[in-house]
Amino acid sequence: MENMRAPRAKFERIYIISPLKVAIILLTSLHCFFLLISFLTSFWIETQSGNYGPLFRCEKHFNYVNSSMNTKCYLRGFIYDIHLFKIPLIVLLIIISFSFSIISILLSSLSFIKQSTSIRNQYWLYTIFLLLFIFLIDCFILVFIPLSSHYQIYEFRWGYGVHCGGTLFIFASLISSILTHNTDDIEYIEEIEK
């Protein structure tokens, strides 16, 4: 008589990365890219005397010999900005925001490769706190620039708009990371053992 055994089911646990979590890393990367573009331009605010940005300023000078308008660019950005250790405050805040964005990308990527659920959730919580801090820094920059230029007539230029776009990206990334904090993407695949 043959030994008849019923087939046994074997379950395999597979961890799947959510597409929303990958989108969060993509949005944070876009934020870094937008910060870099806006940091390297002088077209944040335009006044009658020139264009101003966090790092560069381009001032218009009238040449009386040729009766023409010349533009000269300098390395110092917003001339009315508060100086903190001889570095303009906006430059310092943009560098901090960029650095924290890179760290949050690394932390969220580390949360993908860790095996323990508690460690993954802990890394993801650190990512949420960093994204919140980055968002607050970017909002402060967007509010501080108009307040520091209130005594002159100015217009916002495309560099300010690019920074606004980067702030929207980091806000979307923050909201998405909060919504996906406690979700663990685990799937069980059933395989019949012969």
pLDDT tens-place string over residues 31-50? 999 999 998 888 888 888 78
Q: Which has the higher per-residue pLDDT, 80 or 102?
A: 102
Q: Are 83 and 90 in contact (CB under 8 A)?
A: no
Q: Which has the higher per-residue pLDDT, 128 or 189?
A: 128
State the DSSP string of the chain: -----PPEEEEEEEE---HHHHHHHHHHHHHHHHHHHHHT-S-SEE-SSEEE-SS-EEEEEEETTTTEEEEEEES---TTSPEETTEEHHHHHHHHHHHHHHHHHHHHHHHHH-S-HHHHHHHHHHHHHHHHHHHHHHHHHHHHHHHHTTTS--EE-HHHHHHHHHHHHHHHHHHHHHHTSS---EEEEEEEE-
pTM of the model: 0.79
The most confident of 41-45, 51-55, 92-96, by mean pLDDT: 92-96
* pLDDT score, position 136: 96
Domains of the chain and any CATH numbers:
14-48+79-193 (1.20.140.150)
- How confident is the model over 6-15, as a mean pLDDT? 62
Q: Is the pLDDT of residue 181 over 90?
A: no
pLDDT band for position 89 (50/70/90)?
confident
Q: Which has the higher per-residue pLDDT, 69 or 42?
A: 42
